[in-house]
Amino acid sequence: MNLLRAIRRPLPRPPARPSILTRGASTRPSGRKPAGPITRPEPFKHDRATYIGATIGVVLGTYWISHIEKTPETGRRRFMNVSPAEEEELRKQALEETLEQFKGRVLPTNHPTTQLVRRITRRILKASELGRLKGDSPAEEASNYWGGLDGVGAAEVPRPPTLHADKEWVVLVVDDMRFVNAFAAPGLVCVSTGIMPMAKNEEGLAAIIGHEIGHVTMRHSAEHLSKMKLYMPFMAIFYLMGLDPFISNAVIQFFYTLPHSRALEHEADTVGLKLMSRACYDPAAAPRVFANLGQFEKQNGSGAPAFLSTHPSSDERVQASRASGPHSCYP
């Protein structure tokens, strides 16, 4: 009986082998990672920012190339997309902002210092047929005519379409000895009393004013405005490419903006020498002014390293002006 029961007792079943559907869920270590669902990345979605940035870059690059021109003095290629009408608006804006910024500090027209600055500016403008001063009487214009000189022809002095013999200019003198500066915009020349010690005399002041008018004849303000029109789109491209805005701005400043600014200053120095020479001012005054400015910067600790400055070093400007200065009408 016991034997029969033992025979009839069901034998123990071997453990079932996991099926192909349940093997992945086994808790036994198999040495392989569980197989998950297979997904395919969407290539366009993955690289969308790169594609958009590249497209914008191609469009901007094409637009940039189509607006490239050569500068009349140095042959430098530059991007320019500012019209004469926009430059006229720039002149009005510069005049309004200057009057507002220095309200109550502008010397009257009959002040001796203002008369000196007006005389120099008039002389430079008339010699190169760049315009006339606002408020000048016919007698003043006739008595202050200065012709050109041998060796510096009219073709060598840039004359953009925005400047002509009847262009009206405004001269402002700011009475502030702490403000050591001078600047110009189309139809505007502004000089501070603080820069007079750097000039020393009329010849030195002519070098400063000639430099500033040189910026205008080379249309540097319009060039700067053209550059700013593309600045934000390029920053947007860098952002879409995943670059930090702070780093992008620093790269643009270091490798483009600052070197470009120094190149513009060199151009203004070169053209300014020709402008003052055509008005029969001695160009030898220019290196003396640059040397004085260099001494002022050293004494006041305002001299930044050359590669971080918007202007070339004073020593470099002295050497360049001595090497390239044209002969004036002086013996």
> For strand 168-174 and strand 77-79, is the pairing parallel, antiparallel, or unpaired?
unpaired
Name the token pair of 230: 């593309």
C-alpha 140 chain-centroid distance: 37
Check if 212 is active-site: yes
Residue 55: other Cβ atoms inside 10 A: 12
Rounded Cα distance between 149 and 142, Å, is: 18
Contact between 212 and 265 under an 8 Å Cβ cutoff? The reply is no
Residue 270: which of 203, 200, 204, 322 has the closest Cα? 322
H helix intervals, 241-308: 245-252, 258-278, 285-299
Rounded Cα distance between 206 and 121, Å, is: 8
* Annotated catalytic residue, options 212, 223, 265, 267: 212
User: How buried is 184 (Cβ within 10 angstroms: 0-12 exposed, 13-18 middle, 19+ buried)?
Assistant: buried
- For tokens 């920012």, name the residue: 49
The strand ranges marked E within 3-98 are 68-70, 77-79
| Active-site residue set | 212
